[in-house]
Amino acid sequence: MIHIPALRFGKSYTSLDKATLVHHVTGEPVAEVSQVTGSQIARDISGMVRAHKELSAIPIRDILAMYKKAADYFLNATLPCGDTELTFDEYVKNLSATTGSPMVFCDRNARKVHYVLGNIEEVIAGLTRGLNVEALDKGYTTSSGRMQAFYPTTDVFGAVLPSNSPGVHSLWVPTIAFKMPLLLKPGREEPWTPMRVLQSFIKAGIPASVLGFLPTDHVGSSEILRLCGRSMAFGDDRTMAPYKNDHRVEIHGTGYSKLIFGEDQADNYEKYIDLIIDSIAANGGRACVNASAVYTPKNADKIAHALAERMAKAKVRAWDDPACEISAFAKPEVAEAIDNMVTHGLQTPGATDVTLQIRGTPRLVKEGRIAYLLPTIIRCQTSEHTLANKEFLFPYASVIECPQADVLKRIGYTLAATVLTEDPAFIAEAMACSNIERLNIGPLPTNRLTWDQPHEGNLFTHLYKQRALAIA
């Protein structure tokens, strides 16, 4: 069994209190992770002014060169992981073992992290909207004769991370390039990706004194969000509610992403079925950019049936099967609770589980100590139905018929929306819609992200504020 210590900004720390991670299928121990307390976190954060100065003194071009090396190490090197060393393939295997996400998903999403590491200049250019990177050395630059100056909003950036997909780690990876010390609280079942990224940084030359890996409990997580001047956190609406109005915390929660048909494309729905399924089911449907609703002005019954007919064919497969399409729930009670929520919602008139009619078997599947939820398409008669605006941790979507003139008023908050139309007027309305954060016009799946554009918050504007500056 692997022991993974905390990394307290240059010091490896082994605690008496450890969390044991087990294989989601066999229940056999895979790793134990040292835990730190809230008081230890507070003590570490108190030293971040010195760490910030140390990182700020490194020229940005040197840091960017280290990112290139870190990208190579992340994918190709055998890196320390506690009291052992792991190749990339061994890392992926352990990641899948403790999270329940199939190996094929883990590998695919880990490569997104590698992409951001290797293309950090492109990512920074997108986040800063083309700011000259030397401004990160001097604090200012001039563009077209105009002064642009910035100052840091904190001395350390904290991230309270989830356990669902390694792809989310791409969001905090640019932090060091912005010359900000980094404090990571890994998800309980997913210490692997944060640890591997940090070890890649250290091997590439980033000082270990600016990197923190602090596994902790809910109290410790709250301390990170309370004490770090800027942070990000992942969770559902209920978990993130206390931080909803806290400008210091960038929330990554429920996405409520959607596919929206224009009047001009609703009759052509058949050519978009593959795209819609990709939007709903990619990576097991667990990302905030996976579509959880399809809105159309007509043909809703036909669209729901076409989606359900395809998605009902999905089968439970072994975690290491390259053809795996859905993720396991390492905690069966979570799958049972979600299944109960959907079943309870169906008791309200106006909703039909179309996949259940076609498949003829329940969505909840139990195998040994784990459970699965099979893809589910719900045909809702109105956008007000309780199941019309739900998002779950498996491939799930409602299909709603709604007039084009009303749809943008009814969709509510939408992290990512794909609008299928060639109508210039409807495109203009979508462009002006304040409910949508990331907008795709035309046949692009909702989960198609471009790393040079932020899709939920902007790390640079979170870590820096613009100031007026004059130099005599």
Q: Phi, psi (5° rounding) for residue 88?
A: -60, -45
Tell me, rounded to whole angstroms, the distance of Cα 210 from its chain centroid.
23
State pLDDT tens for residues 26-55.
999 999 999 999 999 999 999 999 999 999
Helix 103-118 and helix 60-76, axial crossing angle in degrees, nearest 10:
160
pLDDT tens-digit profile of 202-226? 999 999 999 999 999 999 999 999 9
Report the predicted TM-score, pTM, of the whole model to 2 decimal places. 0.93
Contacts of 45 (CB under 8 A, 6+ apart): 156, 183, 227, 228
Provide the CATH number for the domain formed by 257-441 in this structure. Answer: 3.40.309.10
Collapsing DSSP to helix, strand or coil, 352 comes out as strand
Please give the radius of gyration of the chain, using alpha carbons only, rounded to the nearest integer: 23
Ordered by start, the domain boundaries in the chain are 2-253+454-467, 257-441
**Mean pLDDT value of segment 159-180:** 92
Give the pLDDT score at 454. Answer: 64
Q: Are 236 and 206 in contact (CB under 8 A)?
A: no
Asked whether the beta carbons of 25 and 233 are under 8 A apart, the reply is no
User: Using CA atoms, how far apart are residues 29 and 98, in angstroms rounded to an integer?
Assistant: 9
Rounded to 5°, the CA angle 215-337-33 comes to 15
DSSP 8-state symbol, 324 = -
Cα gap 211→213, rounded to integer Å: 7
Sequence-ordered list of residues with C-beta below 8 angstroms from that of 92, at least 6 positions apart, any chain:
103, 106, 107, 110
Q: How confident is the model at residue 167 (pLDDT cuts 50, 70, 90)?
A: confident
Query: For 303-395, where are the E strands, in sequence order?
Result: 351-353, 364-367, 370-373, 376-380
CATH of 2-253+454-467 given 3.40.605.10, 3.60.110.10, 3.30.2270.10, 3.30.70.1450 = 3.40.605.10
